[in-house]
Amino acid sequence: MTKQLPNLKLTSDILPERVLVCGDPGRAKMIADLLDNPVQLAQNREYHTYSGSWNGKQVAVVSHGVGAPGAAVCFEELIMGGVQSIIRVGTAGSYQKEVTPGSLVVSTAAVSCDGLTKQIVPPGFPAVADRKVVEALSNAAGKNIPVKEGITLTLDAFYSGVLEFPHQLYKKAGVLAVDMENSALFVIAALKGVQAGAILAIDGYADAELRDEYNPHNDLVSNAVEAEMKIALDAITAL
């Protein structure tokens, strides 16, 4: 039976089972432009949806905006619409010196420091990427484009207030990078029984000392985003 997806302004019958998601509607359009026979399916708020084919398989691309709550609406409705595999094509701030701006990280799991997951699962529920998606992303990158696999962290706040961010704590724990949506994707996918993973282009350092130098609009980051888009497309069509 066809389902209405009210926030995406879509119906389930036009959605393929494989979807890439990203925060930026502009990036969604960039990914769509790589597809064969791309078409825009819908546009509502931050949710811009496209479809086309890659490696002979139908794929959709949907933007979800910034932050876990709005992104979770997107993830939930995609799954309601019959989507079986979701890969997030995102950006993140590095916690580790060797994870430099312009590099790529495949998230194997996320530390849930967001508010959204605390309202849908009990404390301690793991936010883990699907192992087949992690493997597909790493295989798609191959030897020519090095990617680092590891744990990332999801945080709601981008700019600090009077409370300190937990950056130094998780840096010591070996967490690679921080984003704003991965834990929501991994938890919702686990609850609904679908595959999910994420690849992230590092657009700067999250350390407070280096924060003033943050400028994601440069060739290093642009090249990393371009690389991760193609890796994600190859990975999701290989699942």
Catalytic residue ranges: 203
Three-state DSSP class for residue 133:
helix
CB 185 within 8 A of CB 115: no
d(CA 25, CA 174): 31
Q: What angle do CA 235, 141, 38 make, to 5 degrees?
A: 45
d(CA 204, CA 41): 33
137: alpha, beta or left, given left = phi > 0 and alpha = psi -120 to 50?
A: alpha
Q: Which residues pair with 89 in a beta bridge?
A: 199
Question: Which two structure tokens, joined as six digits, stand for 231?
Answer: 């890796």
CB 152 within 8 A of CB 175: yes
Q: What is the CB neighbour count within 10 angstroms for residue 31?
A: 28
204: alpha, beta or left, given left = phi > 0 and alpha = psi -120 to 50?
A: left
Three-state DSSP class for residue 19:
strand
Q: What angle do CA 226, 227, 230 make, to 5 degrees?
A: 90
